[in-house]
Structure 1
């Protein structure tokens, strides 16, 4: 069955990769972001590749009215929204908590926390009205409660979203709406590369470990999309970098050398 899918923050990174994968599988996709030019470029790329219908919509996830307009536009173009993915997020992870600028703190809290909360409210209201739908919130480093250097603020937003998503899943229990979360692991995105460029010595020192931990978005997206499409459980938790997968990598002495993922980016 063809699904109508909305993904926030889908002009870059894992959001873009998931949009490509949904579209490749024949599903209709609404891609969104703040950059109109990037949206137009992505829509043209997906249209040229063939697949489902693709629609671009500019949105500011920190603005509830902008998100309501995204839902309305998607519903108008496609008739309904079957899957909504709150993916938009920002990470600044090269400074300690006290050294993180006020602007960086504000951006992470507004985009990661408020954007996901407002997006979830919009999606659940719309899905409740239409009688069905699946909402997935993309979490990230810190959502598991583990402390990592220079990720205090970012991790706090993601840890909060874990609790928020679990609470929302309980609230929709027994309705036609299902809520789940996605833990995509540590992905090499534009944001990750920006952070790496700001701390080259740290990357050099941790190169072997990073090659074990990180993944390319185009390698991760197919599994995440397949599991979202196959999800039937409210409260579902979809994780890429599971403890089992991580253990297998660390136990394989040649994994980092055979999988030099950083080399693709000149690192």
Structure 2
């Protein structure tokens, strides 16, 4: 049984990954910024646990290194150790030009996406090096592949930086019992995505056909990502949902997809 921590796991892909891990019999600690969100996630996830798997929750602001260390300590106490750590916590504001992005939004994206992942990786790698090894996965996102999109300047910059950070960390843990990998989940319709869509309905209308082709539901993607994580044995493993091949098949599919319809868009 794996003993996992997933940051940013009270909703979205983080919650779905935690659910899939529990369904496969692995212990999980979920985390979020508020007690209410954490408690709600634990209650929703508890019935999903298979076998002897347990789920626990912990409040954390991942932009605070001390709090991230406390998350590790709490998780090792609750699970008896940690050998899988998923840096998923993130903030996305992707509908406004750079010059119209507020200072608060810039700060939230940089501190949560960049600092949160760096601190999480530091804490997890140190802990795993001292306690028998494990696997750290950093969840990347739009812009991490170097593609530039208007409206996503700050967010994409943080994710591109995380790609470089992850590659460097892979080299640094080589030859140890710790492995580092990356996850590219594709374009998922999460609570955050819906919030952004509500703020820019004209963009959704303009890009509706493309969005219906590229977007996916979280629950359709999470099982694949979870199985790939659990099966991974390679340092530097890159797990991607929206591969070039899958994207091509989506565009060539004879049936028109209506992914957005479920959400009234």
Task: Tell me whether 1:211 sits opposite 2:209 in the alignment.
Answer: no
| 1:201 corresponds to | 202
CA–CA distance in structure 2, aligned partners of residues 72 and 35 of structure 1? 18
Cα offset, 1:219, TM superposition: 0.5
Matches within 5 A, 1:225-240: 225-240=226-241
CA–CA distance in structure 1, aligned partners of residues 42 and 94 of structure 2? 31
| 1:170 corresponds to | 171
Describe the SS at the equivalent of 2:99. coil
CA–CA distance in structure 2, aligned partners of residues 78 and 140 of structure 1? 29
Q: TM-score, normalised by structure 1?
A: 0.97
Matches within 5 A, 1:187-198: 187-198=188-199
| 1:260 corresponds to | 258
Structure 1 unaligned regions, length at least 5: none
Q: TM-score, normalised by structure 2?
A: 0.98
Matches within 5 A, 1:94-173: 94-173=95-174
Describe the SS at the equivalent of 1:98. helix
Native 8 Å contact 2:49 2:55 kept in 1? no
Describe the SS at the equivalent of 2:62. coil
Describe the SS at the equivalent of 1:178. strand
CA–CA distance in structure 2, aligned partners of residues 49 and 193 of structure 1? 25
CA–CA distance in structure 2, aligned partners of residues 159 and 29 of structure 1? 28
Describe the SS at the equivalent of 1:94. coil
Between Structure 1 and Structure 2, how many residues are aligned? Answer: 263
| 1:48 corresponds to | 47
Cα offset, 1:79, TM superposition: 1.2
CA–CA distance in structure 2, aligned partners of residues 161 and 76 of structure 1? 29
Native 8 Å contact 2:11 2:41 kept in 1? no
Q: Aligned-pair RMSD on alpha carbons? A: 0.8
| 2:87 corresponds to | 86
Native 8 Å contact 2:142 2:159 kept in 1? yes
